[in-house]
Amino acid sequence: GAGVSQTPSNKVTEKGKYVELRCDPISGHTALYWYRQSLGQGPEFLIYFQGTGAADDSGLPNDRFFAVRPEGSVSTLKIQRTERGDSAVYLCASSRTADYEQYFGPGTRLTVT
């Protein structure tokens, strides 16, 4: 079946611009996670949704980052006033519930120039 998909696969933006990154989880998965992976590092947790609500947003670095999942399926990660330090691969994962295996998407590579 279809796995987790993320769009776009690559995004280049200028410093100060607003970007949206989209994640389509596996159908029926109630848990959805966003991670950020900088060069040479492991994935770093950003936010976790259980259904429509953010169960844990403790990993969001500051208030420029925001994520939504209005219908409990697709999620959008929003970054305002992008900075060069935001350049990274943004990974999305979903799981049946929080206790189950997380399936990762291919990631969106964000480059802020």
Partner 1 sequence: AQRVTQPEKLLSVFKGAPVELKCNYSYSGSPELFWYVQYSRQRLQLLLRHISRESIKGFTADLNKGETSFHLKKPFAQEEDSAMYYCALSLGGSQGNLIFGKGTKLSVKP
Contact residues toward partner 1 (CB under 8 A) are 3-4, 31, 33, 35, 40-45, 48, 50, 55-56, 59, 91, 93, 95, 97-99, 101-107
Q: How far is the CB of 81 from partner 1 (least distance, A)?
A: 25
Residue 55 C-beta: closest distance to partner 1, Å: 7
Other beta carbons within 10 Å of 58: 9
Q: Identify the CA nearest to 8 among candidates 77, 59, 54.
A: 77
- Cβ 93 to partner 1 shortest distance, Å: 8
